[in-house]
Structure 1
Amino acid sequence: MNLRQIEILRAIIRHNTTVAAARVVGLSQPAISNAIKTMEEQAGFALFQRVNNRLYPTPEATILAEDAEAIFDLHDKLERRIRDLRDSRAGQLRLVATPPIGYGIITSAIQETQQARPKIRTYFDVRRYEGVMNGIESHNAELGFILAFGGKPGIQSELLCHCDMVCVMPPGHPLSARAQLGPRDLRDYRFIALERGTRLGEATRAAFEAEREEFNFSAEVRYGNTACALAEAHAGLAVVDSLTAFSGRFKVAVRPFRPAIPVGAYAIWSENRSLSRLARFFLARVRDAVANVPSASIASGQADV
């Protein structure tokens, strides 16, 4: 007995007439009658008794129908899952990001996504640049988010935004009165450097070299978040990416840094895996979050956050 026959059996038991059953399953009344005959031949026993033009199931038919309910429950569950996946309401997100993006844009995008799609599960990790690349290449994560992506075979990317690096300092610092700052302006103050060998750390050093200014620092850190925390604690000034500076987690004054050090924020994913509907939905939320970053205030002058 196939699934279509089981569906017909169920409809007849529920409605007691071939006419009503035919209407429910979308067949003609003669087709229902033929289906009954075929099912009884296959089963080897009667499934219905006709009394006053109505059909009543035999005890054997009732047993079969009760057992078949589990099949229909499973089918209904599968249909719901298909609808949820089609509408990106179910499934799982596997994400990895470097700290500048992970602790700001991605967290807000996750919150918006989970609010809109409460059934999904999110697996999120924050790693250094190499860890993000490895997460995508090993397929442990579907989407990655990094700064200063230089391109790599097998990796697809989307530029989310350009943002210049900025100088951060405690609110009320003497240099906060300046419209913008450069390497020479920092020479008499404690400077917190991003780690040598990192992309942003090397870019900062190159800017000092371009201005023929000696690169002196009182502290060296790997991440812009650490630099901002130290600046907030009056441990010095730092040059960090604007996504970190404007994340809202630090009480610091932010000023443009010149010469400009442009930094791109990128979404990346494996070239040999198409993004799921849910991943594309999430990426749209990330774009919205990027659009709300007040980086425009950097170009125009000053901001305290």
Structure 2
Amino acid sequence: MNLRQIEILRAIIRHNTTVAAARVLGLSQPAISNALKAMEEQTGFALFQRVNNRIYPTAEASIIAEDAEALFDLHDKLERRIKDLRESRAGQLRLVATPPVGYGIVTKSIQKTQALRPKIRTYFDVRRYEGVVNGVESHNAELGFILAYGGKPGLQSEKLYECKMVCVMPVGHPLSSKSEITPRDLRDHHFIALERETRLGEATRAVFEQEGEEFNFSSEVRYGNTACALAEAGAGIAVVDPLTAYSGRFKTDVRPFVPVIPITAYAIWSENRSLSRLARFFLDRVKEVIGELPKDLQ
């Protein structure tokens, strides 16, 4: 007996007539009768007893119907899962981001997504630039979020946000009185540099060279979070991305840095793997969070 036949058997048992069963299933009464006849031929025994205009299941039919309930429960569960997936209410999100985007925009977007879709599971990792690219390339993550993305064959990207590097310093530092900070202003102060191998570190060095200023640093760090922590501790002044500087995790003074170092945040994903409905839903939440950013981050 196939699933459709079992469904017909179940409907006849519930409604006691082939007419009612046909109406519920959207079939004709002859189709129900023919299906019943075929089932009895296949099983080799009677499934119903006929009394007046009604039919009643035999003990054998009741046993089959009872055992079949597990199939219908599984089918209902599958239908609910399909509906959840269609409406992005269930599934898995695998995300990876560099720290500046990950520790603010992405975390808030995860919270928004989970509030709207509580059944989803999120797998989230924060890595340096190369780790984000590799994570998406290897399909360990469906979506990556990154600053200063330079492009790579096999990956698609979408520009999400544009901002400018800023200068962070201890609260009350003498340079806090200035409306903007230049490389020349940093000449006589301890400077915390971002690592040379990072894109933001290279961009900062290029501006110093452009201004004819020696790139003289007292500390070199890989991440903006580390630079801000050192600045907060009074160990120097740093030039970092505004997402990190204005994250609220550090008590520092922040001023614009000139000449302007523009940076852009991107979402990236594999070119040979279309984004799931849930990933697109999450990307919309990311754009909502970006739209709520304060003007200081523009």
TM (normalized to structure 1)? 0.95
Displacement over 3 Å in runs of 4+: none
| 2:166 counterpart residue number | 166
Question: Matches of 1:157 and 1:297 in 2, distance apart?
Answer: 25
Q: Is the 8 A contact 2:168 2:254 kept in 1?
A: yes
* Percent identity of paired positions between Structure 1 and Structure 2: 79
Q: Which moved more, 1:22-31 or 1:217-226?
A: 22-31
CA deviation after TM superposition for structure 1 residue 298, in Å: 5.5
Mapping 1:1-305, distance limit 5 Å: 1-294=1-294, 296-297=295-296
Q: Deviations over 1:189-236 (max 9, x none)?
A: 211110112111111111111111111111110000111111112211
1:122-169 CA-to-partner distances (Å, cap 9, x unmatched) read 111111111111111111111111111111100100111111100011
Distance (whole Å) between structure 1 residues aligned to residue 60 and residue 197 of structure 2:
77
Cα distance in structure 2, aligned partners of 1:283 and 1:36 = 51
- In 2, the alpha carbon distance for the partners of 1:16 and 1:176 equals 85
Unaligned runs of 5+ residues in structure 2 are none
In structure 2, how many angstroms separate the alpha carbons of the residues matched to 1:204 and 1:16? 81
Which amino acid in structure 2 is aligned with residue 297 of structure 1? D
> Whole-Å Cα distance in 1 between the matches of residues 119 and 18 of structure 2?
41
Contact 1:142 1:279 in 2 (8 A): yes
Give 1:29 shift: 2.0
Contact 1:146 1:266 in 2 (8 A): yes
Letter of the 1:112 partner, please give it: K
**Unaligned regions of 5+ residues in structure 1, if any?**
300-305
3-state DSSP of counterpart to 2:165: strand
* Distance in 2 of aligned mates of 1:290 and 1:250: 20
Normalising by structure 2, we get a TM-score of: 0.97
Residues 268-277 or 280-289, more deviating = 280-289
In the alignment, the residues of structure 2 paired with residue 151 and residue 17 of structure 1 have an alpha-carbon distance, to the nearest angstrom, of: 67
CA distance in 2, matches of 1:257, 1:184: 11
Partner Cα separation in structure 1 for residue 244 and residue 2 of structure 2: 60
Alpha-carbon distance in structure 2 between the residues aligned to 1:212 and 1:239: 17
Q: Determine the structure 2 residue equivalent to 1:302.
A: none
CA contact (8 A) 2:165 2:240 kept: yes
Give the Cα–Cα distance (whole angstroms) in 1 for the partners of residues 64 and 110 of structure 2. 47
Quote the Cα distance in structure 2 between the aligned partners of 1:75 and 1:97.
38
Counterpart-to-counterpart distance in 2, 1:44 and 1:248: 75
How far is 1:20 from its partner?
1.6
Distance 2:135 2:201 in 1: 23
Deviation string for 1:93-121 (max 9, x for gaps)? 11111111111111111111111111111
CA distance in 2, matches of 1:157, 1:282: 15
Displacement of 1:293: 2.2
- 1:256/1:298 contact within 8 Å kept: no
Q: Give the whole-Å Cα distance in 2 for the aligned partners of 1:123 and 1:160.
A: 21
Mapped partners of 2:195, 2:297: distance in 1: 24
Q: AA paired with 1:8?
A: I
Q: CA deviation at 1:67?
A: 1.3
Distance 1:261 1:271, change over 3 A: same
Quick one: distance in 2 between partners of 1:152 and 1:298?
Answer: 27
Deviation at 1:30, TM superposition (A): 2.3
- Partner-residue secondary structure (3-state), 1:27: coil
Q: Is the 8 A contact 1:246 1:293 kept in 2?
A: no
Give the residue type in structure 1 aligned to 2:276. Answer: S
